[in-house]
Structure 1
Amino acid sequence: MSPHVLILGGTTEARRLAAGLAARPGVRVTTSLAGRVTRPAALAGEVRTGGFGGADGLADWLRAHHVDALVDATHPFAESITANAVRAAAATGVPAVVLRRPGWRPGPGDRWHEVASTAAAAEAVSRLRPGSRVLLTTGRLGLAAFAHLTEQHFVTRSVEPPAPPLPQHTEVVLARGPFTVAEESELLRAHRVDVLVTKDSGGEATAAKLTAARALGLSVVVVRRPPLPEGVTAVPDVAGVLDRLGFGG
């Protein structure tokens, strides 16, 4: 029987992994997407959309579809999905790998203020002078943490329009990345941004905004990643996952 690999996806790395596995003869690959984006980028192999119903539902799916390996390649902040994947893998005996691109690190000239959560980021923003202009790149689901702030002006960028609650003074920019440093610099200048707020997503695809902020001398509030479940070590790249699954070389 062909080996079946389930990828919990939604990231650039998940798409690359699916392509790498699908190119190998005899390997069946299924990528599961949460369904938060209505028009996701094309994926190699099979695609399913929607949740599993927690760890128990995921375990049932692994058994029913004869999955031989599970790869959690979700966003570094998809904390509950990662926890469910680890529990489901333990319950079924399916080998599991967590794929996480390395996080960002501040360099010379960076003006970072690192915080532990979006709530802490909102607290940091609340201390800014009234009228400060803040670019929020924390994702649609993270905007609620800032909804109570009325003294600052916010610009938020997302692929699709965010749902309420939003801060009172919010301008929404609809765009799909990745963006170049020049594009990020133009956005920051055009909206007269004083402070950038972002999550430590890591990777090159979304790092241009940090380069642009550094060049413009802007402060950046960076939300640190949640820790991985106890005993779990992440693999940093697609090549490492392929090696772990026995498809390297």
Structure 2
Amino acid sequence: MNPAARVLLLGGTGEARALAAVLTGEQIPVISSLAGRVRNPRLPVGEVRVGGFGGVDGLADWLRDNEIRAVVDATHPFAAQITANAHAACTRTGVPLLRLARPAWQPGPDDRWFSVPDIGAAATAVAERGGRVFLTTGRQDAGAFAGISDAWFLIRVVDPPAGPLPPHRGILSSRGPYDLDGERALLAEHRIDVLVTKNSGGELTRAKLAAAADAGIDVVMVQRPPEPDDLARVDSVAAAADWVRGA
């Protein structure tokens, strides 16, 4: 194995940035790849590339051409397509692959969660409930709620959503982390009845769940998409760094 061969870190998450910092600090050659879907993203330390690879074939070719010795998929838990592509490309090329994904949130005794399998089911649940909805699923999913006219939406996004949107809405552009007091105040100010979110896990946006529980607000929780059964997985930066050292 070429000692200068790099590790490809599929990133865009806080865990990815933390892992890039650890590996770079240990002089392990690493290149972080971002999808480029967020304007002005938080960049990790070290070498960075932005943009897609061109599907499985393009990623497999890129791994070979760039002498990649290992891949860590530290993308968002809902980035199902890149996870599937990475699995297929690494299987094809024989490059070791690790999935780093933060643990999912778990409901507590005061939570009022209604779990749904996907964003379409979330839209159906909201259409049945109506009311005032705090939508925090990201700008790419806002269009799924565009046909709902019997509810008002507060749509919180990092970048402005494009495409069809619900007719009754307000847009809140902001980026976490969020604290409990701020989330409580937001829910009260907008008289929110229902929170819609994805089970992303992590601490960055967890406060909205605690605020909803305190206020007795229903939460429509979109569960994570399935991933390949044979993926090697860890849920901490420390475990991922140990794996890279031994790869």
TM-score (norm 1): 0.96
Shift of 1:42: 2.9
Give CA deviations for 1:43-69 in whole Å, capped at 9, x if unaligned. Answer: 111111110000110111111111111
SS in 2 for 1:51: coil
Q: Which residue of 1 aligns with 2:70?
A: 69
| Residues 1:168 and 2:170 are matched in the alignment | no
Give CA deviations for 1:120-146 in whole Å, capped at 9, x if unaligned. Answer: 0000001114xx100000011111111
Q: Which residue of 1 aligns with 2:207?
A: 208
**Distance in 1 (alpha carbons) for counterparts of 2:43 and 2:142:** 27
Instruction: Give runs of ≥4 in structure 1 deviating > 2 Å.
Output: none
- What stretches of structure 2 of length at least 5 have no aligned partner? none
Change (3 A) 1:206 1:30: same
SS in 2 for 1:68: strand
Q: Which residue of 1 aligns with 2:216?
A: 217
Shift of 1:247: 6.2
Measured on the aligned residues, the alpha-carbon RMSD in Å equals 1.2
Whether the 8 Å contact between 2:97 and 2:232 is mirrored in structure 1 is no
Whether the 8 Å contact between 2:97 and 2:231 is mirrored in structure 1 is no
Shift of 1:9: 0.6
**Distance in 1 (alpha carbons) for counterparts of 2:64 and 2:155:** 41
Shift of 1:243: 1.2
Alignment of 1:97-136 (within 5 A): 97-129=98-130, 132-136=131-135
Alignment-mate amino acid for residue 220 of structure 2? V
Shift of 1:230: 2.5
**Distance in 2 (alpha carbons) for counterparts of 1:10 and 1:119:** 25
Q: Which residue of 1 aligns with 2:23?
A: 21
SS in 1 for 2:167: coil
Q: Which residue of 1 aligns with 2:14?
A: 12
Q: Which residue of 2 aligns with 1:137?
A: 136
Alignment-mate amino acid for residue 4 of structure 1? R
Aligned sequence identity (%): 53
Q: How many residues align?
A: 245
**Distance in 2 (alpha carbons) for counterparts of 1:199 and 1:160:** 17
- What stretches of structure 1 of length at least 5 have no aligned partner? none
TM-score (norm 2): 0.96
